[in-house]
Amino acid sequence: MNHQPVLILSKKMIISRIYSYITISSVSALSRTPKLSHLTTPNRPPFPRIPHFFCTKPPIVIILPPQSMDPNSSPQTIPVVSTFANPFDSQNPPPLPPAAASNGADAAAAARKPIALWPGMYHSPVTNALWEARSKVFERMLDPPKDAPPQSELLSKTPHQSRTSILYNFSSDYILREQYRDPWNEVRIGKLLEDLDALAGTISVKHCSDEDSTTRPLLLVTASVDRIVLKKPISVDVDLKIVGSAIWVGRSSIEIQLDVIQPPKDDSDSSHSTALTANFIFVARDSVTGKAASVNRLIPETKQEKSLFEEAEARSKLRKRKTVEDDGRKEVESGEKNRLEALLAEGRIFSDMPALADRDSILLGDTRLQNSLICQPQQRNMHGRIFGGFLMHRAFELAFSTAYTFAGLVPCFLEVDHVDFLRPVDVGDFLRLKSCVLYTELENPDEPLINVEVVAHVTKPELRTSEVTNTFYFTFTVRPEAKAAKNGYRIRNVVPSTEEEARLILERKDAEALRLASA
């Protein structure tokens, strides 16, 4: 048998070979990636749904034919293949490309292993477990029966039927731990936000499934994130669990509650094991007509389930009432005019008499940051849209950077106040994220609060349009150890320079006051 040498190359070595004499091409399932030529047209169709085959991110394994080792020989085409196996694991060798398999290698090893994973290549390891838990349901969503009828009869389900939990073995899995570690030896919040969105989507699918392979599945999308609250720092060295279930349903909407649980390192008090709570709102659409679709009923059984259902019902009524009030407000009341004037007064001093402005204040416009990106197919979900968790991750990273540059000290995340998913984001979209510090709360000097807004825009230069697709609101404070190292440190007050900025500040303050009053 003619065994061919296998090299595992670093990125630097690969680049060196590329620039010297090697041409690299993709084979196998990579060649089946959908063509992206239509993405340059303004009226492109939705990106095709993802295939069932999926590649993770292990080291790149390159198969070098013997003759290509001679630098004087003609350039050879070297296939780059991805593998699910650990290349250092002798018990599970990496698969070989078809060319190598035809030369005597094991054909079974060359076959790509089909596995039901969360669609899209931009994902975290936790999505593997999510898909394995309900692979039949998701595979039917990826490849629904043609001309299938909608669900004819709604079912009654309990929260227990949709309850799903995910365990992170940080204490024993070094690779997983390194994927989630941040510079302060805590869990990266941005990656955790992705996982929360993925798990909430899985739970909503489980609740809406009718277990009938002949009906067409519903299209479930994230409508908003009601609130995400960090109750204590999340260590990356201790095992972590996320538990969630449906806690309330309306006619076409579902509220999912997720709890991130991590016991104390010393196991002293298990009552303080909940590290984070999150509430996601999903809405159901008919996958053919795109109209609102009814979802299965939810029957709470236990006392806690009934209490969560009532609290979610109250939040739903509050959201509807706020929407009606915002739509019906025609004029600005005199009291609000006074509040606007008070906010704008200090801003006018910055504009008209900058030398006399308060040095403990800063204009809102001077806190702004932004970044831009082109949405790639690796970041899409099963419906061909950009994964909502990816958007939250990018928004969080920008908000964190904004708070960092504003405070001058490392910020500490406290909560996601609210997230609105106003419009879908497609593959190939030009996405712009803009952030600013809306206002600060300095009543408690030991824990000053920094409220950051991030707005996502989809910009279409060819059409000269720009639309807001998402709004995110984050709250940070300053890490105590960083604040203690800087004596006399003080967070500055943020003042608006325009009426639009002043209105944004008042709207967020009023929304927060309304939420606290309802709680």
pLDDT of residue 309: 95
Q: Which residue has the higher pLDDT, 95 or 55?
A: 95
CA 352 to CA 424: how far, in whole Å?
42
- pLDDT per position as a tens digit, 430-473: 999 999 999 999 888 888 999 999 999 999 999 999 999 999 99
Compute the Cα dihedral for 114, 118, 122, 126 and give only its sign.
Answer: negative
- Contact between 291 and 268 under an 8 Å Cβ cutoff? The reply is no
Q: Which residue has the higher pLDDT, 223 or 326?
A: 223
pLDDT of residue 10: 45
pLDDT of residue 90: 42
* Residue corresponding to tokens 């960083």: 482
pLDDT of residue 13: 45
Q: Is the model's pLDDT at 511 over the cut of 80?
A: yes
- Contact between 495 and 506 under an 8 Å Cβ cutoff? The reply is no
- pLDDT per position as a tens digit, 125-148: 665 556 555 555 556 555 666 667
- In terms of DSSP bridges, do strands 411-421 and 23-26 run parallel, antiparallel, or are they unpaired? unpaired
pLDDT bracket for residue 221 (50, 70, 90): confident
Q: Which residue has the higher pLDDT, 265 or 416?
A: 416
Q: Is the model's pLDDT at 62 over the cut of 50?
A: no
pLDDT of residue 318: 82
pLDDT of residue 208: 86
What is the rounded end-to-end Cα distance, in angstroms, of the chain?
72
Encode 479-504: b = buried (16+ Cβ within 10 Å), e = exposed.
Answer: beebbeeeeeeebbebbbbeeebbbb
Q: Is the model's pLDDT at 14 over the cut of 50?
A: no
Q: Beta strands of 310-385 (E only): which ranges?
A: 361-363, 369-374
pLDDT of residue 215: 72
- Contact between 96 and 106 under an 8 Å Cβ cutoff? The reply is yes
- Contact between 381 and 387 under an 8 Å Cβ cutoff? The reply is yes
Least confident range of 61-75, 165-179, 226-240, 428-442: 61-75
CA 413 to CA 368: how far, in whole Å?
18
Q: Which residue has the higher pLDDT, 241 or 487?
A: 241
- pLDDT per position as a tens digit, 247-280: 999 999 999 999 999 988 776 666 668 999 999 9
Q: What is the mean pLDDT of residues 84-108?
A: 43
Helix (H) or strand (E) holding 308: helix 303-328
Exposed, middle or buried by CB within 10 Å (0-12, 13-18, 19+), for 515? middle
pLDDT of residue 210: 78
Tell me which DSSP letter residue 456 carries.
E
CA 259 to CA 229: how far, in whole Å?
10
Q: Is the model's pLDDT at 329 over the cut of 90?
A: no
- pLDDT per position as a tens digit, 331-378: 456 567 888 888 888 888 888 888 888 888 999 999 999 999 999 887
Percent of the chain with pLDDT over 70: 66
pLDDT of residue 445: 80
Q: Is the model's pLDDT at 303 over the cut of 80?
A: yes
pLDDT of residue 274: 93
Q: Is 171 helix (H, G, I), strand (E, B) or coil?
A: coil
pLDDT bracket for residue 325 (50, 70, 90): low
**Planar angle of CA 464, 466, 472, nearest 5 degrees:** 170
- pLDDT per position as a tens digit, 70-79: 545 444 443 4
Query: Which among 32, 35, 36 is positioned nearest to 53, based on CA atoms?
Result: 32
Q: Is the model's pLDDT at 81 over the cut of 60?
A: no
CA 22 to CA 15: how far, in whole Å?
9
pTM: 0.73
pLDDT of residue 417: 85
CA 288 to CA 86: how far, in whole Å?
41
Q: What is the mean pLDDT of residues 168-174?
A: 90
pLDDT of residue 384: 77
pLDDT of residue 64: 37
pLDDT of residue 122: 46
pLDDT of residue 264: 85
Least confident range of 25-34, 178-187, 216-225, 250-259: 25-34
pLDDT bracket for residue 403 (50, 70, 90): very high
pLDDT of residue 187: 94
pLDDT of residue 484: 64
Q: Which residue has the higher pLDDT, 246 or 144?
A: 246
